[in-house]
Amino acid sequence: MRSRPKVSLYYSEKVATAGRPFTIELALVGKTVTPVDFIETKLVGTESVTVGEGKGQYSRSIEVLRWSAREAPGVIEPREYRYRYTFEIPEAASASYRGTRAWVTYAMSVHVSVPWWPDRSAQYTLPVVVPDAAAPEDRPVIRASADGPQPGKVYAEVSIDHDVLGPGGIIAGAVSVSNTAAHRVRRVVASLVARETIHSPELVSYVVDRHTVILVDGAPGEGEAVPFRMRLPEGVVRTFAARTFELEWNLTVRVVVAFAEDAIVVIPLSIVPGAPAALRPGGRYHPVGRDRFAQVWTSVAAKLGMTLDDDGRTLRMSSERASVIVRGTYDGKAYALRVELAWPTLGIDLHVTARSWADLVTAAWIPPSAKAREKLVIRAREPEQLAALFDAPLLDVLAAYTGVSMDDHHATLSLPVPGTNAAELEQACVSALGLLARVVRWPTLVPPPRTMSSALDAWREFARRTSGTLEVGSLSATDCSLGVDRFSIETFWIGTDQPLATVVTFPLDPPLDAYPGEDAVASSDAPLRLVSLTDEASTVYDAVRTVAPNLEVTRSRVSWRAPGAVPDPAVLLPSLELTARLVRALRHRATLGPYR
């Protein structure tokens, strides 16, 4: 009578290694004389994934490997038969894996076909591993929740010393949280997360392992670096990619925000079996938060040749009599850059501001730039003076700023750039330095008032003779000198072609002291009461009042004015010399007293 033989399958090793020969031995023990059609030994590798939830859940499997060996028909007698086979699993094959939503299995089967009798079948599982591959390059990594701090959003940066490690390895790093005033921060947590990402039949990802610690309970300091260390558990599955899915590890740092979107930073990790806990010395990682911001500003300062203030967020540069300052600002809601430019006073009554609805009904100069016409309002006394300073390229640069405010000697510009990225900060500084190169030439480009253009040479000669500075835009001379006495002559205007007055001012530096009967803390611009002048001083005072009836003397200055404009300031020299004598008399304290 026929009977099914007893089947046993023996492995040469406990596990098969991809890319290496593997030997199996099939043992058959016959009980009676039994004919067989064939004896087949087979290996099938399968990948299976499950996607969806509940009733919508479905699975899919694909065959990734097949090997078989078959013996010819024959007769099995009551004795033991042994068959030895050697095969090799491809080097690119995935290791055996049983996860939550994905599996990789390798199954051995033996089929003994007995004609006109029940066949003998047996199934076995073959564990497969892959050899330890060379670890990818291990390096410190820094990541952020966004491309720099954004207005009204919490911003996080995370830096770690390793992104490649083995089971049981330690990650050291730091996290910083910025813009904490924007929302209430509840806590900062860090998690080592394993995910199965399925690519087919659809792209979906599932968390299959998570190890979480709370780094900060509450809000950390603004931009403060909070160090941390985390250990990867022993026995975790390595990072790998199969045909239809992949197992990924990452470090996820989440800043939990009340009633707003959390700030999340994800750093991919490579888990390499057999790798040491640390592939290189640990503890060295990139700075984050304020420390990294300071490095950014220091590097930009060095590259562009600018001076960095002690606060680490202010860059400066000067060129001749002009200067530029780039400041990093934080108002509790947003990080931004403010550019401040200064240059010698132009004297053209310059006003540049952002356009508003009220400007639709007021007249202003029409600039030769479409962007500037849309965003800016530019005014001065005379359009010819504006045209000499503002060309289309300069106006396009100014229109790129979100906030613009300019006057005769100063500009404040704002950019919604956090200043935490070296490339962005450098670009902003290069733009600011380009503006500095333009404004430093403005005093030489601005034309004189058109009604006094013929007087320019006389004013220029007067400024040269008195070692003063000529303000061409208004035809004024400042920082002039007669001997040791400094003075200025300024032309004031009330509109185009309408000079109001010419004002002469001799500053008293240091200011005069208060006299008996005067308030010692009164403003230095309050009129000074003078009595008991010497005959010489009284004579000088009366002489100045003769040529300048509106003479005004305070503790900080002596000034008077002439109506309208002065075509040639040299005609004022006799009056100026008299005023200088009065200034010298006022400095002789023994001859001065209360004035009524």
551 in the same domain as 484: yes
DSSP string, 309-339: PTTSSEEEEEETTEEEEEEEEE-SS-EEEEE
359 in the same domain as 337: yes
List, for residues 11-43, the tens digit of each pLDDT value.
999 999 999 999 999 999 999 999 999 999 999
303 in the same domain as 428: yes
Contact 144, 157 (CB under 8 A): yes
578 in the same domain as 522: yes
- Number of structural domains (the chain) is 4
d(CA 302, CA 311) in angstroms, rounded, equals: 16
74, 80, 112, 115 from 38: Cα distances, Å: 8, 16, 6, 10
345 in the same domain as 269: no
| Strand, helix or coil for residue 347 | coil
Q: Which residues pair with 207 in a beta bridge?
A: 195
Contact partners, residue 482, CB within 8 Å, separation at least 6: 466, 576, 577, 580
420 in the same domain as 455: no
C-alpha neighbours within 13 Å on the C-beta side of residue 141: 17
What would the two tokens of residue 455 be? 């007087």
Residue 35 domain flag:
yes
What would the two tokens of residue 508 be? 């008293």
What would the two tokens of residue 556 be? 């900080």
* Residue segments in the chain with a per-residue pLDDT below the cut of 70: 274-283, 357-364, 514-534, 589-596
Residue 135 domain flag:
no
472 in the same domain as 435: no
d(CA 99, CA 306) in angstroms, rounded, equals: 57
Neighbour tally for 298: CB within 10 Å: 14
Task: For 421-475, give the secondary structure using H, E and C.
Answer: CHHHHHHHHHHHHHHHHHHCCHHHHCCCCHHHHHHHHHHHHHHHHCCCEEECCCC
d(CA 546, CA 529) in angstroms, rounded, equals: 19
List, for residues 235-287, the tens digit of each pLDDT value.
889 999 999 999 999 999 999 999 999 999 999 999 987 655 444 555 689 99
586 in the same domain as 529: yes
pTM of the shown model: 0.79
d(CA 463, CA 447) in angstroms, rounded, equals: 16
What would the two tokens of residue 255 be? 């800043």
Contact 49, 245 (CB under 8 A): yes
393: enclosing H helix or E strand = helix 392-399
The CB-based long-range contact list for 11-14 (8 Å cut-off, 24+ gap) reads: 11/126, 14/127
DSSP string, 82-102: EEEEEEE--TTPPPPEE-SSE
Contact 324, 316 (CB under 8 A): yes
Q: What is the dihedral of CA 453, 458, 460, 464, to 10 degrees?
A: 180
pLDDT at position 442, please? 95
| Strand, helix or coil for residue 410 | strand
Give the chain's radius of gyration (CA, Å). 43
What would the two tokens of residue 46 be? 């399968």
> What amino acid is encoded at 124 in this protein?
Y
Contact 114, 4 (CB under 8 A): yes
212 in the same domain as 307: no
Q: CATH number of the domain that 339 lies in?
A: 3.30.1460
Residue 573 domain flag:
yes
Residue 24 domain flag:
yes
Q: Which of 241, 258, 288 is the last residue of a domain?
A: 288
Q: CATH number of the domain that 254 lies in?
A: 2.60.40.640
Q: Which of 382, 417, 444 is the last residue of a domain?
A: 444
506, 531, 556, 589, 596 from 522: Cα distances, Å: 20, 18, 12, 19, 17
Alpha carbon 136 to its chain's center? 29
Residue 306 domain flag:
yes
> What amino acid is encoded at 415 in this protein?
L
Domain containing 538 equals: 450-591
Q: Which of 129, 151, 177 is the last residue of a domain?
A: 129
What would the two tokens of residue 477 be? 């001379």
Contact partners, residue 387, CB within 8 Å, separation at least 6: none
Residue 136 domain flag:
no
Residue 26 domain flag:
yes
Strands 263-271 and 164-165: what pairing? parallel
Phi, psi of 18 (to 5 degrees): -60, 135
Torsion sign across C-alpha atoms 132, 138, 143, 147:
negative
150 in the same domain as 278: yes
Contact 475, 448 (CB under 8 A): yes
Residue 1 domain flag:
no
Torsion sign across C-alpha atoms 273, 278, 280, 283:
positive
List, for residues 472-505, the tens digit of each pLDDT value.
999 999 999 998 899 999 999 988 888 999 999 9
304 in the same domain as 186: no
Q: 535-547 and 573-586 helices cross at what angle (nearest 10)?
A: 140
395 in the same domain as 373: yes
> What amino acid is encoded at 532 in this protein?
S
